[in-house]
Structure 1
Amino acid sequence: MRNVAPGSGQDGDHAAPASKFGAGIGRFRWRVCAMLLAATTISYIDRQVLGVLAPFLQDKMGWSEVQYSTIVTAFQAAYAIGLLCAGAVIDRFGTRIGYALAIGIWSLAAMGHALATGVVSFAVARFALGLGESGNFPAAIKAVAEWFPQRERALAAGIFNSGSNIGAIVAPLLVPVVAATFGWQAAFLCTGLLSATWLTAWLITYRTPDQQPRLSAAERAYIGAEPATAAARVPWLQLLRHRQTWAFAAAKFFTDPIWWFFLFWLPKFLHAKYGLGLVQLGAPLIIIFLLADAGSIAGGWLAGWLIRRGLSVNRARKGAMLLCALLVLPVMFAAKAGNLWLAVALVGLATAGHQGWSANVYTLTSDLFPRRAVASVVGMGGFAGAVGGMLISTVIGLLLQATGSYVPVFLLAGGAYLFALLVVQLLVPRLEPAALDDQPSTGDHTSGETTA
């Protein structure tokens, strides 16, 4: 799942160049960005603890495959619900308190896993974790809007969003060592304490630029130099009338669940297929998610390179998506891989393809919609992806319980992206922008890149 900074692209018409303010502007805003990066990293560590520990908790607790899928689904259901209301809550209470509420909930939920004793209690803890974590990206995006001029928002968003990949790498490095040394409860308590530590620092240090006493006058002027722009949200009912909305939602619905599968079932697969112990899981998972990080960067770069080479946005975007979909295709054979490292290579290639795909899918929103509609479209797509994740979790649980084989699951994962690309092509064959009823004749589309 993975999440982005909607509407954070550059707008050269209103951007105030740094040179106008001289060399001594200050860098306090980048400290804020570092805190957002840390929060995003922690959120992905927290959500992946269960996945890393799954094969051992399942043996200890006696969970069936369906019961484990129920626990995973609880997180995804809460995440979907949270995406519908998190933005409104954060707007109501402000970034400082809204973000604090979100991370406070997920910190308590993360530590609450240590008290769980069965399916119901784990599901309750996962539901609370998903509800809290759904506020991370809306709050971080709002903080970027408050602290960065428009010309720097895409960069700031890209930096904090990279925490999703960092967290996916840190979790298999940290969690097995803590669990093997102090017990599985300690792994949940440790990551929950990380969240609580961040929350304390956030409440102490975060203020809006106009209320931050440590901010220099020059940097405050630089941040506030651009004129305010209208930020009226486009109603969902209006957006649902456009096939462009359905194209983005379909792309998320069919492919986000594959990423959830990698996060929550991959350690179970490696344990079941190759007999890896708790500490032994670390190296394969780290390699897989390092490849995912590389894919995220390369996938976003490829479309831009193709456009600079003279291809239309339509051909460049879909060409990049096609290549990423083809990178995922060989994962169909992962369940039958003859040795561990071949399986790691196939899955790593697939995670790289997913992240490159996701970078381009999110950029579809700025290809197809004016800036003021991007946040709403991304929210709708995120909801669709979370619902797809709930469905795939149930299907995986039933398949594994009935057959004991990961073969059909990997077959499903390998073909999902090509199928999703076909749906996108049928709905938006030329990537023509949506003609919103109230859209100005001059348009306000942005082609700024976003990442997954």
Structure 2
Amino acid sequence: MNRFLKGYRWRILALLFFITTVNYIDRQVISFTVIDEEFQRAIMNIPEGDAITEEHHAEFNEVKGWIDASFKIAYALGFILVGWFVDRIGTRKGFASAMTIWGFAAIGTGFVGSIGGLLSLRFLLGFGEAGNFPASIKTVAEWFPKRERSFATGIFNAGTNVGVILTALFVPWIILSWGWEYSFIITGLVGFVLLYFWLKMYKRPEEHENISKEELELINSDADEKDNADVTKVPWARLFKYRQTWAFAAGKFMTDCVWWMFLFWLPSFFQDSQSLDQNLDLKSIGLPFILIYLVSDVGSIFYGWLATRFIEKGWTVNKARKVTMLICGITVIPIFFASMTDSLVVAIALIAIATSAHQGFSCNLFSLVSDMFPKKAVASVVGIGGVWGAIGGTILTAATGYIVNAAGYLPIFIYASCAYLIALLLIHLLAPKLERAKL
């Protein structure tokens, strides 16, 4: 416990946690507003007083897919540029730039009144939000020794779940009280508060006046990273030739799409599913989401700690990461039954277990980058992997509306149940020992 009370790196980590929380609030607001009838009328141009028909509902399912796809297309493009940008100008300025872009896009969404306007602002939001994980993973690599990184990543990554929980807790209430427009405006403003604290608090450890000599020595204690200390610039395109880059990218491609599908489509699943014994609406959907993502938070921290614990016991980093990820992959398998059961409680429980395992898989997947690459290349590699994650997410989310209209949610849940084990197999084939890339 003393290490949490001492050391400036834990304050930096707390800031990353809060920024990631707001990042996910801003992206998650849309998944609740899309089930609001007033929002549907505004975007689909359905006159007040006209009934929303089954034809409207089916058409809006397809529109929802493209709303989310526009975010993910920009997210992919953003990863191409933002990871490189953060590595070039530094974490402090790069992250601040990304936060500014997504903050303005989030607030602007409260003023849209058409499909075209919504798609444009979701695109801008996705481009800005692409900066969160490259910058955060690079920050962890700069501020934490290797043995602490999966745990640190698990903690800040838990902000994704807290963001969803807070969105589920407050956004339906904001929509019902003041209208859907204010759900975007209010949540978007919070990000600028954190931007102030980021600019006030963040510097590299070597430059920070609040860090002790002992803590700086701890941060720089990894021998293999000392060997790479002279790496000042890594050409972005050069990273594509390394199998380690493709191992990370394969994991992101296979699994990010599942997480994003759940984030965007779960409110619609709980509202529309024909198999469940009860359906949810804006007044009742908050509690299930809080439960699901509280469990996910536990998974993010627990599985990050588990890999760290294995390493402390003397396991190699390779074995510790992959065994932890295998446990996560096996835990996700039962998720397919959530789309078949008639019990809302069982569906919520299965989804909670699966999202918890996803977060554990994800925090260890992110940690692989700093395991295999020097700090100067971390944001760029995370950016490259993020591109492939966003491509996978775009494909799945664009197809989901059509799949749901044609065959229901079962095919989507079947894919989710096996994606993680396939991803781990690809990672192991591409990086069997998690060898350090020789740049």
The answer to whether the superposition gives a TM-score over 0.5 is: yes
TM-score (norm 1): 0.78
Match of 1:417? Answer: 420
1:133-178: CA deviation from partner (whole Å, max 9, x where unpaired): 12233444566678x5769984766554432222122111111111
TM-score (norm 2): 0.81
**Which of these residues, 271, 291, 295, is aligned with residue 291 of structure 1?**
295
Match of 1:386? Answer: 390
1:231-283: CA deviation from partner (whole Å, max 9, x where unpaired): 43443444333333322211110111000011111111011123212031111
1:26–1:218: 8 Å Cα contact kept in structure 2? no
Go from structure 1 to structure 2 and tell me whether the alpha carbon gap of 1:419 and 1:50 turns closer, same or farther (over 3 Å shift): same
Question: Is 1:280 matched up with 2:276?
Answer: no
- Further displaced range: 48-57 or 325-334: 48-57
Go from structure 1 to structure 2 and tell me whether the alpha carbon gap of 1:284 and 1:311 turns closer, same or farther (over 3 Å shift): same
1:284-339: CA deviation from partner (whole Å, max 9, x where unpaired): 01111111111112222333444556655544433322221111111111111212
**Which of these residues, 414, 432, 435, is aligned with residue 433 of structure 1?**
435
- Further displaced range: 279-288 or 57-66: 57-66
Separation in 2, partners of 1:54, 1:206:
37
**Which of these residues, 82, 87, 103, is aligned with residue 99 of structure 2?**
103
1:417-446: CA deviation from partner (whole Å, max 9, x where unpaired): 122223234334x3251563x5xxxxxxxx
Match of 1:74? Answer: 70
Go from structure 1 to structure 2 and tell me whether the alpha carbon gap of 1:159 and 1:233 turns closer, same or farther (over 3 Å shift): farther
Go from structure 1 to structure 2 and tell me whether the alpha carbon gap of 1:102 and 1:327 turns closer, same or farther (over 3 Å shift): same
Match of 1:232? Answer: 232
**Equivalent AA in structure 2 for residue 118 of structure 1:** S
1:244–1:368: 8 Å Cα contact kept in structure 2? yes
Match of 2:17? Answer: 37
- Further displaced range: 156-165 or 119-128: 156-165
> Could you say what secondary structure the match of 1:351 adopts?
helix
Written as runs of structure 1 = structure 2, the 5 A alignment for 1:359-398 is: 359-369=363-373, 372-398=376-402
1:74–1:127: 8 Å Cα contact kept in structure 2? yes
Separation in 1, partners of 2:93, 2:428:
42
Go from structure 1 to structure 2 and tell me whether the alpha carbon gap of 1:46 and 1:301 turns closer, same or farther (over 3 Å shift): same
2:33–2:180: 8 Å Cα contact kept in structure 1? yes
Separation in 2, partners of 1:187, 1:238:
43
RMSD across aligned positions (CA): 3.4
Separation in 1, partners of 2:203, 2:163:
27
Match of 1:251? Answer: 251
Separation in 2, partners of 1:209, 1:245:
25
The share of aligned pairs that are identical, in percent, is: 41
Separation in 2, partners of 1:265, 1:94:
35
Written as runs of structure 1 = structure 2, the 5 A alignment for 1:72-151 is: 72-90=68-86, 97-140=93-136, 148=143
Match of 2:52? Answer: none
**Equivalent AA in structure 2 for residue 232 of structure 1:** T
Go from structure 1 to structure 2 and tell me whether the alpha carbon gap of 1:234 and 1:55 turns closer, same or farther (over 3 Å shift): same
Separation in 2, partners of 1:304, 1:200:
32
Separation in 2, partners of 1:333, 1:131:
35
1:38-79: CA deviation from partner (whole Å, max 9, x where unpaired): 222111111100112222257534552221111101111111
- Which ranges in structure 1 are unaligned for 5 or more consecutive residues? 1-17, 20-24, 439-452
**Which of these residues, 182, 185, 189, is aligned with residue 181 of structure 2?**
185
**Equivalent AA in structure 1 for residue 271 of structure 2:** H
Question: Is 1:50 matched up with 2:30?
Answer: yes
Written as runs of structure 1 = structure 2, the 5 A alignment for 1:266-345 is: 266-273=266-273, 274-307=278-311, 313-345=317-349
Go from structure 1 to structure 2 and tell me whether the alpha carbon gap of 1:100 and 1:304 turns closer, same or farther (over 3 Å shift): closer
> Could you say what secondary structure the match of 2:35 adopts?
helix
Go from structure 1 to structure 2 and tell me whether the alpha carbon gap of 1:323 and 1:287 turns closer, same or farther (over 3 Å shift): same
1:356-384: CA deviation from partner (whole Å, max 9, x where unpaired): 11123223334544555444332221111
Post-superposition shift, 1:398?
2.0
Go from structure 1 to structure 2 and tell me whether the alpha carbon gap of 1:91 and 1:309 turns closer, same or farther (over 3 Å shift): closer
Written as runs of structure 1 = structure 2, the 5 A alignment for 1:154-233 is: 154=149, 159-200=155-196, 202=198, 205-206=200-201, 208=203, 219=211, 229-233=229-233
1:149–1:222: 8 Å Cα contact kept in structure 2? no
Go from structure 1 to structure 2 and tell me whether the alpha carbon gap of 1:364 and 1:397 turns closer, same or farther (over 3 Å shift): same
Post-superposition shift, 1:219?
4.2
- Further displaced range: 219-228 or 186-195: 219-228
Separation in 1, partners of 2:322, 2:148:
25
Match of 1:5? Answer: none
Separation in 2, partners of 1:200, 1:188:
20
1:145–1:153: 8 Å Cα contact kept in structure 2? no
1:209–1:220: 8 Å Cα contact kept in structure 2? no
